[in-house]
Structure 1
């Protein structure tokens, strides 16, 4: 859903008023009382041609006046007012996206885009407002011909000029603050229509650098919120962008940004949303192997452990999620976690001592973290510290582990029975596997792998404890092995298959 600028956050009302004024101007007298003929004229090909010709004429007049009277602004100001009026009239085109191909055919898009670099920021702001309205998702929708406008904007260097214009806008001015918001909205609009823009905008411009600078600002406002959201969109599915951000010292910047909330909660739901966006960015960035090392060196593991200790409801779950992503397939992060006494925060949480209303997602994150530690720790001393946790208090953590295993085993079993019903006959095996994953199969597989690691450790009394707990639930090691076998059969990595096979044989 498209974000709308909040009135309370610096200039929100100005956007609505500016757009309303532009629409009123473009209607040429349409509205209460009549005179709507001019608006109707603009909604056909002839009207578009007339509009484009008038715009090109005013643009040429302004260029000539500026060249002729370089040091005499009063001599070209009138041409700028005329140009401004023509830009406002073009807002009417948003009512007829089916006419966008005509704009492309008339080769006017490049001229409009060029004004993003106009010396007068009032003009560039007008262009931003216009492009935001023309590219709005509600306007373009699934209209593929309208998508031609987006393609033309990209080929006319709109992405580059849009970001260049961002760097000169002064957010102390409400109109320019609104233009910043609308510029980010244009980026989101273009991505919605053409997902490839996610990487194009980062290849061709310094948007990532600008966004990092913007989220560094300590004061919260709607533009910082939107900057965090756009950054999350750019990072969530692009390994190239994740790598770029890491090279811009982005990991450190994100850690500094979330550190502001290590001992306090956000003051509003909007600020809370921004913090969630920042953590999402952090999780996306550390998905790239090159950035995991940066996360460790920037003391990201230490920061997340500190945040967990504070037990602030929102930050707790987010820090846990960031640790889950950063420790996955990263031995250095796993070792650092143990070294900074992360186990002291992890296992009380595993035993249920977490902030209220943390939910099932937190449980699954904790299970994933424990598995990552078993898979990633390489030092014998670290492994022993992890395993010793399962001996404490008469094997209470093994009891908890088995409690989770039974819960997810029953859930996946029920889903499997449902999928075997005739109503699901049309689903192939891959679809059924995905549905079982949604029902908790992946978490069940992690639990089985953890049990296998513990079993293989041959800690005194552990194996008999596991057998006893399984028997009490009318289960056996064969049920654990069955889960491991299915996991093995769906692992692409041959080395991973061999490791799981070793677990199966050992049990």
Structure 2
């Protein structure tokens, strides 16, 4: 198949993730062998492999607990793993912020380019006749391009969230770790002040988008045949859990992560706080949507460091 090289490359990245998952020794060896730096280099090259490299970085920085593996579902664990924190330190020291924020902003000069043999990398076929429907191939290519960009944005959000957890871990460390985390915290906050708060604006945009998407997903479930069957054959609580699961898959989990990031930025900078409030007001919303995102995440987390850190962020708001 013409897509075989891209498929093989994606499979190789999945194998890498699987090997890290199945053995702590493999995970440590990956860090010690400069695996993070290699993935960052792939990203800088802006080639197809950068997409898979970003997935590896997401897994590596978020591999706090063996239960906490799948970024496509709710990540409800409270990992406190030294290897995870080491991965975060390596990522930041190697210039991770310079890679992340252009991806968050969707800068075309930073986005990895999909291989020309993949659907996402092919030139979109345009129909000559105006008003005519897109062919199946054109629809598939359009969908692939959209998914390519969405996955980059999603992985970037998760990495930022994991870095936030690392920063918060400094509260329970020694003086040197507290100093290191404080320095990274200040650097991260400074990023959201740059360029007339454009990164803060981006978080607000994403928060409202994922909030809408999650509500739509939940509504679609309740009017589906699956929900009707469940209501007739299951307990009410089970139906609610199924609806919540669909909400998380539809954007709710990302809504929680972006809300937590906004709470961190808003609580860490008075200027950012005032700007975020104004942007939410202009979009017909308010700080309540940020509080709702953080509160929902707190309610589904087990007791632990992650939950206590989020409770502190919520209290500041």
Corresponding residue for 1:444?
255
Structure 2 vs 1, CA of residues 397 and 441 (structure 1 numbering), >3 Å: closer, same or farther? same
Corresponding residue for 2:152?
362
Counterpart secondary structure, 1:475: coil
How far apart are residue 372 of structure 1 and its match? 1.0
Q: Aligned partners of 1:411, 1:429: CA distance in 2, in Å?
A: 18
Deviation sequence 1:221-254 (CA, Å, 0-9, x none): xxxxxxxxxxxxxxxxxxxxxxxxxxxxxxxxxx
Deviates more, 1:389-398 or 1:487-496: 487-496
How far apart are residue 436 of structure 1 and its match? 0.8
Counterpart secondary structure, 1:390: helix
Q: 2:163 aligns with which of 373, 388, 391?
A: 373
Corresponding residue for 1:327?
61
How far apart are residue 420 of structure 1 and its match? 4.4
Q: Aligned partners of 2:290, 2:316: CA distance in 1, in Å?
A: 12
2:202 counterpart of 1:400: yes
Q: Aligned partners of 1:270, 1:453: CA distance in 2, in Å?
A: 43
Corresponding residue for 1:431?
242
Q: Aligned partners of 2:17, 2:197: CA distance in 1, in Å?
A: 33
State the superposition RMSD in angstroms.
Answer: 2.1
Corresponding residue for 1:305?
40
Corresponding residue for 2:123?
none
How far apart are residue 269 of structure 1 and its match? 2.9
Deviation sequence 1:309-367 (CA, Å, 0-9, x none): 0000x211100000000011311111111111121111111111214533211110111
Corresponding residue for 1:280?
14
How far apart are residue 289 of structure 1 and its match? 4.7
Which segments of 5 or more consecutive residues in structure 1 lack a partner in the other structure? 1-5, 7-267
Q: Aligned partners of 2:193, 2:158: CA distance in 1, in Å?
A: 20
How far apart are residue 422 of structure 1 and its match? 8.2
Structure 2 vs 1, CA of residues 315 and 454 (structure 1 numbering), >3 Å: closer, same or farther? same
Structure 2 vs 1, CA of residues 297 and 466 (structure 1 numbering), >3 Å: closer, same or farther? same
How far apart are residue 400 of structure 1 and its match? 0.8
Q: Aligned partners of 1:461, 1:315: CA distance in 2, in Å?
A: 38
Which segments of 5 or more consecutive residues in structure 2 lack a partner in the other structure? 65-83, 114-144, 171-179, 232-238
Q: Aligned partners of 1:374, 1:500: CA distance in 2, in Å?
A: 10
2:29 counterpart of 1:294: yes
Q: 1:467 aligns with which of 274, 277, 294?
A: 277
How far apart are residue 498 of structure 1 and its match? 2.3
Q: Aligned partners of 1:349, 1:300: CA distance in 2, in Å?
A: 20
Q: 1:346 aligns with which of 91, 97, 100?
A: 100
Corresponding residue for 1:382?
184
Is the CA contact 1:307–1:315 (under 8 Å) kept in the aligned structure 2? yes
Q: Aligned partners of 1:455, 1:306: CA distance in 2, in Å?
A: 32
Is the CA contact 2:165–2:306 (under 8 Å) kept in the aligned structure 1? no
Q: Aligned partners of 1:300, 1:422: CA distance in 2, in Å?
A: 45
Is the CA contact 1:295–1:326 (under 8 Å) kept in the aligned structure 2? no
Q: 1:317 aligns with which of 35, 38, 51?
A: 51
1:43-442 matched pairs, under 5 angstroms: 269-287=3-21, 289-312=24-47, 314-328=48-62, 329=64, 330-353=84-107, 354-355=111-112, 357=145, 358-377=148-167, 378=170, 379=180, 380-421=182-223, 424-425=227-228, 426=230, 428-442=239-253
Is the CA contact 1:292–1:333 (under 8 Å) kept in the aligned structure 2? no
- Return the TM-score normalized by structure 2: 0.70
Corresponding residue for 2:302?
492
How far apart are residue 434 of structure 1 and its match? 1.1
Is the CA contact 1:279–1:318 (under 8 Å) kept in the aligned structure 2? yes
Indicate the structure whose relative CO is greater, using CA pairs within 8 Å and at least 6 residues apart: 2
Counterpart secondary structure, 2:302: coil
- Return the TM-score normalized by structure 1: 0.45
